[in-house]
Structure 1
Amino acid sequence: MMSLFAACAWFVIANVGAMLPSKRKHWPFAYGLIAVGIPILGWVVYEQGPWVGLLVLAAAMSVLRWPVIYLWRWIKRGGKAKDADA
């Protein structure tokens, strides 16, 4: 149960951080959320099971949608840098 409280705290911190103004478009904050969120997700899966873990993962992906979009685009390019063919 503590893992779900940690996940909820992660979501509250993520939403409060998104409301704050940022000159660097929140990317350092997003990196910190990812670094903290991965162990929390593992903890949720360990304590609550894979289905609850998938729900938490889907919710986290909706909060951090731009890193997920950029990762998906990078995977579609075959892992190459953006200017690799130029």
Structure 2
Amino acid sequence: MSGALISACLWLIAANVAAMIPSRDHHWRRAFVLIAVGIPILGWVTWEAGPIWGMVLLAAGASVLRWPVIYFVRWLRRKVMEPAE
């Protein structure tokens, strides 16, 4: 297994452990840190292992961080659907 896939697995373990620890801000700070660390890892995995593994890791990350993805999709829909001024 390459270093990129090992780091991706460690990221997934860290994300699950972070989700289990109680938080006052509903885990948003942790989500932002995980996103900031996860994007370079995603690029590294895609570069080393190929786009299939990159898509698998993207799906795994989106399933762990589903609320930021849901809020982003809602924001994007609002921006696309609002009338032009």
Query: TM-score, structure 1 length as denominator?
Result: 0.90
The structure that is helix-richer by fraction is 2
Q: Give 1:44 deviation, angstroms.
A: 0.2
Matched residues in 1 for 2:27 and 2:43: separation? Answer: 24
Aligned residues: 80
Task: Give the structure 1 partner of residue 60 of structure 2.
Answer: 59
Is 1:49 paired with 2:33? no
Task: Give the structure 2 partner of residue 84 of structure 1.
Answer: none
Matched residues in 2 for 1:50 and 1:5: separation? Answer: 17
Task: Give the structure 2 partner of residue 82 of structure 1.
Answer: none
Q: Give 1:56 deviation, angstroms.
A: 0.4
- Give unpaired runs (5+ residues) of structure 2: 81-85
RMSD, aligned α-carbons: 1.2
Matched residues in 1 for 2:20 and 2:42: separation? Answer: 23
Structure 1 segments (4+ residues) deviating >6 Å: none
- Give unpaired runs (5+ residues) of structure 1: 80-86
Matched residues in 2 for 1:6 and 1:52: separation? Answer: 13
Q: Percent identity?
A: 57
Matches within 5 A, 1:2-81: 2-78=3-79
